[in-house]
Amino acid sequence: MRMHRGPHASGVCSKHRQNFQKGWDMGLVEAWGGNPVGWFFANLIEAFYNFGYAVTHPGQWLSWVPFTNAAMADLEVKEALMRFIYYGASVELFFVVFAVFLVISVIGFINNNFMWGCVRVLEGFANKVGRFFAWAGLLMVLQQIVIIFMQRVFAVSEIGIGFGVNFAKDVSWWSEELKLYNAMIVCMCASYTFVQGGHVRVDLVYSAVSFRTKRIIDMVGSMLFMIPAAIVTWLYGWFFLWRHLVVPNPSASDTLDRLITKARALRWNIEFIGFSPNGFNAYFLFKILLITFTAMVMLQAVAFFYRSYLELIEGEQSEGKHLDRDVLGDETAELVAEIH
């Protein structure tokens, strides 16, 4: 990933600074970026170098991880966190992900079995995550029953977990926390629901066209609608998350140099602010779920694109190949799922 560094703190030696700046900057974008085509290919070529450099120098952007529950006393650790924040929603990251997608796609176009393997892995991941977090619905119902029972029957104002765990909160905290279970189901089960065919589709021409045309529509839709929508959500959600985790607050308009300058005053400031005095206050978890949701949607869009392409070239006999869908065991439910 490219970095244009501003002035460093005195604690960083000049030799390290020069090596760091040289290592993360090929200069192709500056050399070729005079027009959109040159800018695109320069970033694409640099993406392979950036990926290799990031993998071989993890400390320059991940050294903050051991300090997630502690103060960051070292300036280099703070700068590493600022780099992570900056590149988490950067052009450089986009082209790294795009380059990885291109490489995997080219291999898959040559070897369809490899692409089927990618589909099975991505859809399997979505299914496993979704099936796990779907239990949040049951937990939400049980917790609501406990809240009503404890509040109406015993008239308690506070509920604790017990079993040797010293965790007790006001009833209003537990009531508002139910929203977290809803968020888990929506964010973590969206891709799973997509694999299961549970999302409602607005059918304008889809049912009236041929099998091959349907696959083309699916391919175009995954690339032109699913991925761009997920990218936009990621760009907004990324800085929305970090503004509630650290101070000084990073901004989407901040350059890397400005963020590195801010790193001198960087510290953790996880916001625990509720809508009521004793209400649920860990709303930063919702922002983490938003980022996780967008990442899973992007992965599912890739899986759907690959599946649609493979079904297009292999024909109708490959429809639903390797597709792991739940068996509902009810004719009416199966019919509703088929309509969706």
Residue 146 phi, psi dihedral angles, 5° rounding:
-60, -45
324 occurs within a structural domain: yes
227 occurs within a structural domain: yes
- What's the N-to-C CA distance of the chain in angstroms? 42
Count of CB atoms situated within 10 Å of the CB of 260: 24
User: How far is 13 from 265, CA to CA, in rounded Å?
Assistant: 20
Residue 85 phi, psi dihedral angles, 5° rounding:
-65, -45
Confidence at residue 155, expressed as pLDDT on a 0 to 100 scale: 82
Confidence at residue 22, expressed as pLDDT on a 0 to 100 scale: 43
Confidence at residue 51, expressed as pLDDT on a 0 to 100 scale: 95
Confidence at residue 34, expressed as pLDDT on a 0 to 100 scale: 67
305 occurs within a structural domain: yes
CA separation, residue 200 to residues 193, 297, 337 (Å): 10, 16, 9
Tokens representing residue 83 in the block? 């780099």
For the chain, which ranges sit under pLDDT 50? 1-23
Count of CB atoms situated within 10 Å of the CB of 278: 14
Task: Give the domain extent around 117.
Answer: 111-339
pLDDT digits (tens, 9 = 90+) for 281-300: 999 999 999 999 999 999 99
Confidence at residue 329, expressed as pLDDT on a 0 to 100 scale: 67
Q: Which of 7, 41, 10 is nearest to 26 (CA)?
A: 41
43 occurs within a structural domain: no
258 occurs within a structural domain: yes
66 occurs within a structural domain: no
Confidence at residue 1, expressed as pLDDT on a 0 to 100 scale: 41
Tokens representing residue 328 in the block? 């509902």
Tell me if the bond preceding 36 is cis, omega within 30° of 0.
Answer: no
Alpha helices (H) along the chain: 14-23, 28-32, 36-56, 59-62, 75-87, 91-110, 112-133, 136-152, 171-188, 190-195, 211-221, 227-242, 256-262, 284-314, 331-339
CA separation, residue 257 to residues 5, 35, 305 (Å): 5, 24, 38
Burial of residue 222, with CB atoms counted within 10 A of its CB: 0-12 exposed, 13-18 middle, 19 or more buried: buried
Confidence at residue 10, expressed as pLDDT on a 0 to 100 scale: 36
CA separation, residue 118 to residues 63, 126, 311, 314 (Å): 31, 12, 14, 16
Burial of residue 187, with CB atoms counted within 10 A of its CB: 0-12 exposed, 13-18 middle, 19 or more buried: buried
Confidence at residue 161, expressed as pLDDT on a 0 to 100 scale: 79
Q: Please, are residues 264 and 9 in contact by the beta-carbon 8 Å criterion?
A: yes
User: How far is 340 from 338, CA to CA, in rounded Å?
Assistant: 5
Q: Is the dihedral of CA 329, 331, 333, 334 positive or negative?
A: positive
Tokens representing residue 244 in the block? 């509630």
| SS3 (DSSP) at 66 | helix
68 occurs within a structural domain: no
Confidence at residue 5, expressed as pLDDT on a 0 to 100 scale: 37
User: How far is 111 from 119, CA to CA, in rounded Å?
Assistant: 13
90 occurs within a structural domain: no
Residue 224 phi, psi dihedral angles, 5° rounding:
-100, -15
Confidence at residue 141, expressed as pLDDT on a 0 to 100 scale: 96
Strand partners, 170: 158
User: How far is 337 from 57, CA to CA, in rounded Å?
Assistant: 48
Confidence at residue 21, expressed as pLDDT on a 0 to 100 scale: 42
Confidence at residue 101, expressed as pLDDT on a 0 to 100 scale: 98
Residue 158 phi, psi dihedral angles, 5° rounding:
-145, 140
Confidence at residue 207, expressed as pLDDT on a 0 to 100 scale: 84
Task: Work out how many domains the chain is built from and give that number.
Answer: 1
